[in-house]
């Protein structure tokens, strides 16, 4: 009996917590015990958030027109953070039209913000990277590789690139290939570079296909393989990548490979 009472009490606390969280945009709203009301409250909070974000966006536009960059950056970032809270949550499944509007407004606001030079971009990328967004992880890698607003660190950049690559980010594949081949960040490790470039090439990147072909042609970190070089040059040339077709012709003229119809 005691155990059942505890379970009921725990379930009640869980519902109250959900309701309290759902009405967080209006602290004066008393908690509701009905989960449906909690989700409804949260959808209303999302609507309010969109209105607040819109006002922040207008403030940002006015600040920009007056060349007040600090205020413009603060207002733009504030708009994003207000909307970010409603990019997830149980309420979204029950109120899809509202959730979709949140997503559209967030995407448009984010696209404008990313084009700026606002220092808050670092905060945004870090926030999104910690939430698991691959493109933000890659962006963090770029930031540390360049030392943009943070102490330059190839090791930290490598870590973020690896996180992004684990999620299948094509730009991260290319970045890792470059880090392990150009000798700028680390001592060249051509077998590892080939591994990352091949991932990008397999994903369809014409530039990576060209690089992989060149690696096989030169035998960097692997045995020379004219057939593989031709194969990857062809794939790159088919995408009109500059220089790929010329390299093929060069190989044929040098007798490195036999020309075939393709």
Within-domain flag for 218: yes
In residues, how long is the chain?
262
Q: Does 30 share its domain with 60?
A: yes
Tokens of 91: 């309420």
- Non-local CB neighbours of 199 within 8 Å, separated by 6+ positions: 165, 173
pLDDT of 30 reads 64
pLDDT digits (tens, 9 = 90+) for 118-129: 999 999 999 999
pLDDT of 35 reads 87
- Residue 20: pLDDT band (50, 70, 90) is very low
As a whole number, the mean pLDDT across the chain is: 89
Q: Does 183 share its domain with 90?
A: no
pLDDT digits (tens, 9 = 90+) for 166-192: 999 999 999 999 999 998 888 999 999
Within-domain flag for 231: yes
Domain count, the chain: 3
Task: Identify which of 12-16, 79-83, 180-184 has the greatest average pLDDT.
Answer: 79-83
- The last residue of one of the domains, among 116, 139, 173, is 116
pLDDT digits (tens, 9 = 90+) for 209-251: 999 999 999 999 899 999 999 999 999 999 999 999 999 999 9
Within-domain flag for 78: yes
Helix (H, G, I), strand (E, B) or coil at 154: helix
- The last residue of one of the domains, among 67, 93, 116, is 116
Q: Does 162 share its domain with 252?
A: no
Q: Does 83 share its domain with 13?
A: yes
Q: Does 3 share its domain with 89?
A: yes
pLDDT of 257 reads 84
Q: Does 100 share its domain with 124?
A: no
pLDDT of 9 reads 32
Within-domain flag for 196: no
pLDDT digits (tens, 9 = 90+) for 92-109: 999 999 999 999 999 999
pLDDT of 33 reads 59
Phi, psi of 157 (to 5 degrees): -60, -45
Q: Does 111 share its domain with 2?
A: yes
Q: Does 92 share its domain with 144?
A: no
Q: Does 181 share its domain with 228?
A: no
Q: Which domain holds residue 225?
A: 204-262
Q: Does 9 share its domain with 112?
A: yes
Within-domain flag for 195: no
Within-domain flag for 246: yes
Within-domain flag for 96: yes
Distance, in Å, from the CA atom of 56 to the CA atom of 3, rounded to the nearest integer, reads: 50
Burial of 91: CB neighbours in 10 Å, binned 0-12, 13-18, 19+: buried
- The last residue of one of the domains, among 136, 159, 188, is 188
Within-domain flag for 177: yes
């Amino acid at each position: 009996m005691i155990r059942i009472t505890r379970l009921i009490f725990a379930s009640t606390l869980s519902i109250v917590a959900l309701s309290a969280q759902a009405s967080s945009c209006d602290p004066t709203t008393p908690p509701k015990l009905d989960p449906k009301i909690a989700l409804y409250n949260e959808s209303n909070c999302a609507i309010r958030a969109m209105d607040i974000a819109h006002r922040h966006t207008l403030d940002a536009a006015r600040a920009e027109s007056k060349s007040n960059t600090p205020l413009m950056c603060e207002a733009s970032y504030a708009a994003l953070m207000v909307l970010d809270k409603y990019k997830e949550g149980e309420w979204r499944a029950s109120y899809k039209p509202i959730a979709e509007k949140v997503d559209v407004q967030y995407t448009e606001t984010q696209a404008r913000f990313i084009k700026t030079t606002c220092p808050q971009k670092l905060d945004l990328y870090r926030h999104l990277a910690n939430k698991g967004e691959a493109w933000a992880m890659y962006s963090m890698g770029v930031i540390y590789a360049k030392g943009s607003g943070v102490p330059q660190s190839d090791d930290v950049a490598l870590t973020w690139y690896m996180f992004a690559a684990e999620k299948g980010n094509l730009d991260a594949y290319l970045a890792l290939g470059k880090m392990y081949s150009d000798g700028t960040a680390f001592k060249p490790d051509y077998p590892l570079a080939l591994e990352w470039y091949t991932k990008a090439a397999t994903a369809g990147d014409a530039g990576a296909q060209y690089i992989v072909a060149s690696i096989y042609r030169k035998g960097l970190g692997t045995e020379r393989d004219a057939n593989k070089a031709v194969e990857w040059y062809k794939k790159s040339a088919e995408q009109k990548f500059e220089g790929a077709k010329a390299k093929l012709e060069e190989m044929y003229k040098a007798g490195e490979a036999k020309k075939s119809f393709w």
